[in-house]
Structure 1
Amino acid sequence: MHARIHRWAIPAVSGALIITALLLGQVAPAVGEYFMLAAAVVAGAPVVKKAWHALRVKVIGIDLLVAVAAIGAIAIRNYWEAAAVTFLFALGHALENATLAKTRSALAELVALAPTTAIVIRDGEQVEVPARTVGVGETVIVKNGGRVPVDAEVVSGQAAVDEAAITGESIPVEKSAGSEVYAGTIVADGFLTLRATGVGADTTLARIVHRVEEAQDAKARTQQFMERFSKWYTPGIIVLSVVVGLLTMDLELALTLLVIGCPGALVISVPVALVAGIGRAARDGILIKGGEFLETAAKIDVVALDKTGTITRGEPRLTAIKAGAGFPEDEVLRWAALAEAGSEHPLAIPVLDAARERGITVPAIPDHVRSVPGHGVVAMVGGREVAVGNLALMREVGADVDYGQFAVDELSAAGQTPLVVALDGEVIGALGVADTIRDDAAELVASLHAAGVKRVLMLTGDNQRVADSVAAQVGIDDARASLLPEDKLDVIRELQADGHTVAMVGDGVNDAPALALADVGIAMGAAGSPVAVETADIALMTSRLSRIPDAISLAKRTAHVMRANIVIALITVGTLLAGVLFGGVTMAIGMLVHEASVLVVILNAMRLLRRRASAQPAAVRPDPSERTRPAAQLVG
């Protein structure tokens, strides 16, 4: 509140003195001039002070232009022009600060979310303590309607938690024992007992605030160029004014040129748009590392998507059983599960889950297990050899692969990953495992194209038939399969060599190199992952696919606003300079138009703060799994 009062004090006092001077001027012109001079001194003194401090560090800025013009106007006894120029400059500066504070409101709102107190269990009693004093591992309780003070794991209880402040999602997420909750979220309905896992500066909310604060201060390439331009432009205006003054011997004309040439709107045109764009993104659960990455994201024309966990749910399930002659389906599944019980491969989990669902008892550990990297697993169970894997493994154990080849072709054509099962060197069947495609995957691709992305690629380590099947169902332009992490790097290098601006979207450790190499790395589901929040170029706090085109669309809108602001500023300065040189524009009118252009630039940028409908079609609904499962621990 004190800052707000101080912001308006100088223009208020100066404005009152000007009004008094105008009124007194009707009855006592000499006295009125003194009041007009006082108005110029009140509004101009801070400007002269700032200009002097800037000159001491060899910086020639806008304040110097206004200070010289005001002092010159006073020297030629044109007190009205001096008062009008300094008052308008002070008023414009106050309005500029107020509107800039509005564009930074997203950060203020995030800071305000952090609770100052927490209820913890100490010595068997509920004690209210400052949130910053809660220790990791302490038991915290949050009642209905309360705000979670720390990052924590739910120990007991069940509740719907509003995570909009963290993920941007409007739908509360159901939390129960084992779920993760984040500081600043609200228990909308229920009661939770928590075990603190992150406190103070180590909470997800604190990391988000830190990231947004850094991002809003980071400069884009366009902003850096504009600042270099203004360093030459401002001295250039001073030289032009001196030359015009000497040629015309018209001091007032020269001083007017100084005022008109102020590049205020030009200097502020880019940073105000960046601050507003990054703030809007933060409210929507999209963390952008800085202005440079926001600017680059606006140029994205190719998006490369990881398949598992991005296009698909990352939760493979057994979808088919192909049994050989004389072997029932359950028998094929039983032998496969007996072998997979000793495997660490991710595809072992859906096999074991399916066996349990069918009531098949699987011992915890086989007699002997031999993992064959890249091929499968071979186990000894009750004196019999069981092999589960690809055709190369079948050949290694000496099995006839004719039936296996047929089953593999059929399952692969259906978009499933085949696991051939052999018993004592005889192929007895094959299992089909598939990772289910997310409900909103097809809409994601359509929305990316609508956002101006020309090509959408899928990069996967799965086989080509599975990749082609998924790509056909989702509408992806190009599917690259059987890729190792280093192969994904080669694909991105190839696209960049062709002149494309590439975004890589991923959610796993194996995607980290590709995320780093891409022009923009986008990490999905970053809530709860300190690495993703701190290192990703763009971190999406939720795993909702719609956030990807939302982020790109917002970047393009921000870039459009930046360009529009630069055009507005240049046209205003050019028009005013022409008006001064060819007559008709006075110092006061010039400053009024100049300050108006500053406000237009800021108000144009503030349009970015308005929430815009998602880029995806209206028919798309949130992924149901997002409502119930905790955010994944992901690495950007």
Structure 2
Amino acid sequence: MMKPVSLAIVHDLPGRLRLRGGSTREATLLSRGVSLQTHAGVLAIHHSPVGRSLLVLYDPAVIGRSDLLLVLYDALTREPAPDATALSAPVQDRGGPSLLGLMFPLALRPLLPMGLRQIVAFKTAWPRLRRGLVSLARGLLDIDVLDAAAIALCIVRRDFRTLTTITVLLGLGEFLESWTRKRSEASLADSLARHSIRASLRQGDTERQVDASALRAGDMVVVRQGSFIPADGVVMSGEGLVDQSLMSGEAKLQEKRAGTAVFAGSLLEEGELLIQATEDGDKTVWRRTMLLLHDAEQRKASIQGQAEQLASRLAPFSLLLAALVFLVTGDPRRAASVLLVDYSCAIKLATPLAILAAMRQAASLGAAVRGGRHLEDLAKADVFVFDKTGTLTMAAPTVREIVPCNGWSRDEALRLAACLEEHFPHPVAKAVVRQAASEGLEHAERHATVEYVTAHGVASCLEGSRVLLGSRHFVEEDEGVDISPLEGHVVRWNDQGHTILYLTMGGELLAGFALDDPPRPEAAQVIAALRGMGVRRVIMLTGDLDGMAERMARELGITEWVAQALPDDKFRFIGELKREGHVVAMVGDGLNDAAALAEASVGCCMRRGADMARDAADIVLTHNELMTLPLLRSLATATLSRVQSNFACIVGANTLLLLGGLFGVTSPALGAFLHNSTTVAVAVNALRPYTLPALAANPVGGER
């Protein structure tokens, strides 16, 4: 009987319904919903195996929501008709043999008469024999030809017991590889599928929530305070402060009003904007990184490619050696022993398994890796280059300095500013309130109602005087307050890249507040850990001014930095390092980092980075924590070590078996059994979890 099914309705609008399964079993059941494509009223059905979802588009005038749910439940929970060919299927193609199909010939063999045993053995071996013939017809002498030659020799000698054993054991190795690949993809999919961006699409006087990937150029979207901007576009109305540090590398909030451009992935910190999209949403949302899963299988580490090339080059020598043995000894058993013991099978199996196991473990650590080649580059990297804003820093302001003037004390200014700002949730306001709380300053309300002026600041009234706290544009240009008493400090703060607030009362300047973007709590520890792992140079690249860059580098223990670097400068700098012979790892998050990430030997991007940066990166830190980097570096080093140790084990064990076959010590059946047992053992070893050093994987301040 079918077990109960628990599927979640994650999207429900008239004419549109999306279901998602939590478990692997439920995600598999969703695929049955495609059978309703021709049902009356159903317009289209889209099944996403990676996203574990089923999207149904239907006509409410033909089939109601309740009826549709009943039809869906029936289709998803109905037991499929038994497939009579499923059990008799031997080893499937390389895409994924079934374990039942592999073991069935061995389990069935003792129960069958001799003639039927031979038929089953031949049918089981036929796919491999056919692949070898195809390779031979193409002029290739590869592992498929080697396997096919061994199988053909068993058939000629009528040794069907050995034939069955060989076929099943070879298939078992392929099954393990396929199983690991699927597990790796599932882990990566789980880590990436959690993140998506929703958009408020305005159509006339109505609004509806849609996935940002559904937006098209020309659509009007409403973005409210605290929301991500879902697509590139132009502000049509409204005012707001936008954090676009992911694109420009600037920590300062940017004022946006009608006619100004905004970028996908920016965060609206204050205000409300009506935006007309200029690009389709599916070109900019985070979910597009799901495509990395499809790239991973096509991007192999160079060490893996070299191992497979070596394996393919060994196949002709094995064939030649077997032919020589037969010509010299005239003994087909010894020739079969040579054919059945080869290096390539285990080499081609163990290396990708070790890399796929590492990719799966990397996903659990908080990193989506596009392919094994990037793990190798990360292990060999001797230079790490970091962007500053949003990478080494939190991209969240804190109060750095307060300078009072005109007879006011620092505590009085901070107390009054916190009293005004505590009414508002934006990051700058929170920074002022946190500073007052950390200093134990109580701020009883003595002012009138606070008025918030979007993208400018706050205004109120205290003891009959107008009180302002906000930007220079607000207090000097709009309100006419003289800020010259702080001019010297303002010049220094601007040079260091600080955000500046001005506090005034009755038209007189009371104090200036300098805010900056603090480093991540784990940043200094990460840099020290990387140096301890053999990284020769750690460099900071930033678009900020020299003063800010120097101060941040000093705090983090970085001795090399480049300030005021434009995207082209970053790209050229990475290229120069590579031409000097360095293996370069670049870590960034902004649109201005995208070219450098692509140019680096291995590019790493923070999860909340710009879309283009994530697409250009080879590794995405899905937990947004820098501490993942040294853990990932250790994992990459351990992966290379395991690949090399497996290679040594394969060569040693198979050389002994080959000598045994040459001198007649091992029979073909025993040789095949020992060879394939060694292959399976190496594969199991490749699947073991990697042991990593005890680093703080989730330090205080990390974001999940």
Q: TM-score, normalised by structure 1?
A: 0.64
Per-residue deviation, residues 522-544 of structure 1 (Å, max 9, x unmatched): 111347x4323322122223432
Q: Of 44, 65, 73, which aligns to 2:154? A: 73
SS, match of residue 363 in structure 2: helix
Q: Does structure 2 retain, via aligned residues, the 8 Å contact 1:304–1:456?
A: yes
2 CA distance for matches of 1:239 and 1:556?
37
1 CA distance for matches of 2:338 and 2:168?
18
What is the deviation of 1:354?
9.3
CA 1:460–1:95 in 2, change beyond 3 Å: closer, same or farther?
closer
CA 1:497–1:360 in 2, change beyond 3 Å: closer, same or farther?
farther
Q: Name the residue aligned to 1:522.
A: 604
Per-residue deviation, residues 489-519 of structure 1 (Å, max 9, x unmatched): 5654554455332212122233334333322
Q: Are 1:502 and 2:584 matched, yes or no? A: yes
Letter in 2 for 1:514: A
Q: Does structure 1 retain, via aligned residues, the 8 Å contact 2:589–2:613?
A: no
Q: Name the residue aligned to 1:233.
A: 314
Q: Name the residue aligned to 1:286.
A: 367
2 CA distance for matches of 1:15 and 1:293?
41
Per-residue deviation, residues 447-470 of structure 1 (Å, max 9, x unmatched): 334554343333345566654543
What is the deviation of 1:577?
1.2
1 CA distance for matches of 2:195 and 2:517?
38
Q: Are 1:361 and 2:498 matched, yes or no? A: no
Q: TM-score, normalised by structure 2?
A: 0.59
Q: Does structure 1 retain, via aligned residues, the 8 Å contact 2:594–2:613?
A: no
Q: Does structure 2 retain, via aligned residues, the 8 Å contact 1:505–1:515?
A: yes
What is the deviation of 1:582?
3.2
Q: Are 1:435 and 2:435 matched, yes or no? A: no
Q: Of 264, 267, 271, which aligns to 2:352? A: 271
1 CA distance for matches of 2:202 and 2:459?
40
Structure 1: runs of 5+ lacking an equivalent: 22-30, 140-150, 153-181, 183-194, 338-345, 370-378, 395-407, 422-427, 628-636
1 CA distance for matches of 2:149 and 2:281?
49
Q: Name the residue aligned to 1:190.
A: none
**1:6-21 matched pairs, under 5 angstroms:** 6=89, 7-8=98-99, 10-16=101-107, 18-20=109-111
Q: Are 1:597 and 2:678 matched, yes or no? A: yes
CA 1:83–1:301 in 2, change beyond 3 Å: closer, same or farther?
same
Q: Name the residue aligned to 1:42.
A: 123
Per-residue deviation, residues 149-189 of structure 1 (Å, max 9, x unmatched): xx99xxxxxxxxxxxxxxxxxxxxxxxxxxxxx9xxxxxxx
2 CA distance for matches of 1:607 and 1:90?
20
Q: Name the residue aligned to 2:423.
A: none
Structure 2: runs of 5+ lacking an equivalent: 1-27, 29-82, 90-97, 222-229, 232-264, 266-274, 418-426, 433-454, 503-509
2 CA distance for matches of 1:218 and 1:55?
27
Q: Name the residue aligned to 1:457.
A: 539
Letter in 1 for 2:521: D
2 CA distance for matches of 1:472 and 1:132?
41
1 CA distance for matches of 2:158 and 2:378?
53
2 CA distance for matches of 1:108 and 1:418?
39
Q: Name the residue aligned to 1:304.
A: 385
Q: Does structure 2 retain, via aligned residues, the 8 Å contact 1:264–1:598?
A: yes
**1:76-155 matched pairs, under 5 angstroms:** 76-106=157-187
Q: Name the residue aligned to 1:399.
A: none
Q: Name the residue aligned to 1:28.
A: none
Q: Are 1:247 and 2:328 matched, yes or no? A: yes
Q: Of 315, 320, 343, which aligns to 2:396? A: 315
SS, match of residue 350 in structure 2: helix
SS, match of residue 437 in structure 1: coil
Q: Does structure 2 retain, via aligned residues, the 8 Å contact 1:289–1:538?
A: yes
What is the deviation of 1:348?
14
Q: Does structure 1 retain, via aligned residues, the 8 Å contact 2:457–2:474?
A: no
What is the deviation of 1:241?
0.9
Q: Name the residue aligned to 2:631.
A: 550
Per-residue deviation, residues 355-404 of structure 1 (Å, max 9, x unmatched): 879984269885999xxxxxxxxx7985979598779x97xxxxxxxxxx
CA 1:200–1:269 in 2, change beyond 3 Å: closer, same or farther?
farther
Letter in 2 for 1:278: M
Q: Name the residue aligned to 2:45.
A: none
The structure, 1 or 2, with the larger RCO (C-alpha pairs under 8 Å, 6+ apart) is: 1
Q: Name the residue aligned to 1:257.
A: 338
SS, match of residue 218 in structure 1: coil
Q: Of 138, 148, 153, which aligns to 1:57? A: 138
CA 1:113–1:595 in 2, change beyond 3 Å: closer, same or farther?
farther
1 CA distance for matches of 2:220 and 2:693?
40
Per-residue deviation, residues 591-628 of structure 1 (Å, max 9, x unmatched): 222222332233223224x7x778633783243xx37x
CA 1:214–1:420 in 2, change beyond 3 Å: closer, same or farther?
closer
Q: Percent of aligned pairs with the same residue?
A: 27
What is the deviation of 1:14?
2.8
2 CA distance for matches of 1:479 and 1:114?
35
CA 1:311–1:583 in 2, change beyond 3 Å: closer, same or farther?
same
Per-residue deviation, residues 174-219 of structure 1 (Å, max 9, x unmatched): xxxxxxxx9xxxxxxxxxxxx9x99997796752432122113322
What is the deviation of 1:231?
3.0
Q: Does structure 1 retain, via aligned residues, the 8 Å contact 2:304–2:352?
A: yes
CA 1:439–1:384 in 2, change beyond 3 Å: closer, same or farther?
closer
2 CA distance for matches of 1:209 and 1:583?
53
Q: Does structure 1 retain, via aligned residues, the 8 Å contact 2:607–2:624?
A: yes
Per-residue deviation, residues 10-42 of structure 1 (Å, max 9, x unmatched): 544431454347xxxxxxxxx75x465345323
What is the deviation of 1:254?
1.1
Letter in 2 for 1:509: L
Question: Structure 1 residues 288-297 or 59-68, which shifts more?
Answer: 59-68
SS, match of residue 396 in structure 2: strand
SS, match of residue 438 in structure 1: coil
**1:210-221 matched pairs, under 5 angstroms:** 210-221=291-302
SS, match of residue 281 in structure 1: helix
1 CA distance for matches of 2:688 and 2:194?
24
What is the deviation of 1:264?
0.9
Q: Does structure 2 retain, via aligned residues, the 8 Å contact 1:260–1:594?
A: yes
2 CA distance for matches of 1:69 and 1:548?
46
SS, match of residue 66 in structure 1: helix
**1:173-184 matched pairs, under 5 angstroms:** none
SS, match of residue 237 in structure 1: helix
Per-residue deviation, residues 241-280 of structure 1 (Å, max 9, x unmatched): 1112112222221121111125211112222223232233
Q: Does structure 2 retain, via aligned residues, the 8 Å contact 1:204–1:530?
A: yes
Q: Does structure 1 retain, via aligned residues, the 8 Å contact 2:184–2:359?
A: no
**1:308-387 matched pairs, under 5 angstroms:** 308-322=389-403, 328=408, 360-361=467-468, 382=480, 386=484
Letter in 1 for 2:156: A
Q: Are 1:563 and 2:652 matched, yes or no? A: no
1 CA distance for matches of 2:157 and 2:582?
59
SS, match of residue 535 in structure 2: coil
SS, match of residue 523 in structure 1: strand
Q: Does structure 2 retain, via aligned residues, the 8 Å contact 1:289–1:537?
A: yes
CA 1:313–1:63 in 2, change beyond 3 Å: closer, same or farther?
closer
SS, match of residue 361 in structure 1: strand
SS, match of residue 597 in structure 1: helix
Per-residue deviation, residues 262-310 of structure 1 (Å, max 9, x unmatched): 5211112222223232233334442223232222112122222222222
CA 1:83–1:239 in 2, change beyond 3 Å: closer, same or farther?
same
CA 1:557–1:389 in 2, change beyond 3 Å: closer, same or farther?
farther
Question: Structure 1 residues 455-464 or 104-113, which shifts more?
Answer: 104-113
Q: Name the residue aligned to 2:696.
A: 617
CA 1:595–1:390 in 2, change beyond 3 Å: closer, same or farther?
farther
Q: Does structure 1 retain, via aligned residues, the 8 Å contact 2:497–2:545?
A: no
1 CA distance for matches of 2:209 and 2:392?
45
Q: Name the residue aligned to 1:533.
A: 614
